[in-house]
Amino acid sequence: MQLIDEPQGKRVVDLGCGNGALSAKLRDLGCHVTGVDASADMLDIARASYPDIPFIQGDLRTFQLDTPADVLFSNAVFHWIDASDQQKMLCQIASQLVPGGQLVCEFGGHGCAETVHAALERAFTRRQLIYPRVFYFPTIGEYTPLLEHAGFKVVWAHLFDRWTQQSTPDGLSDWIRMFVRKPFENLSEDVTAQIIQEVNEELRPVLYQDGHWYIDYVRIRIKAIKEV
């Protein structure tokens, strides 16, 4: 949020706002905030929690605003969009910004949770199964040309490690079941449980520290300006 120039009074749209918690923090900075999310369930939570903030349902690849925004803000969302749709999404985002408007975003970068994904891939391979890589985790060099093609000038970009402590005793298992659903869609619960257990045993010496599980997140944080 500190990357937003002069947030006071700016029309800011929180893309992939989820439960609205970050939208509220943007409001507290003095922004005029609108939240956008594809999930009706999450928007219900956001509206109940923050009735003073407008929330609208929309897909980042197709959403339309009544008035172009000064700032489009997004946290932990872009890596959920297929690689093949990233350019379309960025062009759509650019179309919803005023000239000179700001895009400030953070999402999973190259190598994000790779320790976990690589271990899952090995467990799938042992069963002669294919582990699909469903997330998009780019490098700075891969992503900035997409932004430039969409009409942005990238003024700041940072790729950094951010190991993240999990809040539950079964943190790794819970994380896999929460965020890595697609690869397990056609597997039985028994096979799923076996794979997760194998990964827990393999990664405990690496990702379990001081009584807590950690996930080896890597984030990419970007600020870009829509060219006039």
Letter for the amino acid at 167? S
pLDDT at 135: 95
Beta-bridge mates of residue 59: none
Q: Are 92 and 81 spatial neighbours (Cβ–Cβ below 8 Å)?
A: no
* Residue 47 to residue 121: CA distance in whole angstroms: 39
pLDDT, tens only, 59-99: 999 999 999 999 999 999 999 999 999 999 999 999 999 99
SS3 103: strand
**Which of 100, 102, 83 has its CA nearest to residue 15?**
102
**CA torsion, points 8, 13, 19, 25, in degrees to nearest 10?**
-10
Secondary structure of 164-204 in HEC code, one letter for each residue: EECCCCCHHHHHHHHHCCHHHCCCCHHHHHHHHHHHHHHHH
Q: What percent of the chain has pLDDT over 90?
A: 100
Backbone CA torsion sign across 54, 59, 60, 64? negative
pLDDT at 228: 75
pLDDT at 143: 98
Which positions of the chain have pLDDT values less than 70?
none
* Residue 36 to residue 144: CA distance in whole angstroms: 24
CA angle 144, 149, 153 (to 5 degrees): 60
Report if pTM > 0.85.
Answer: yes
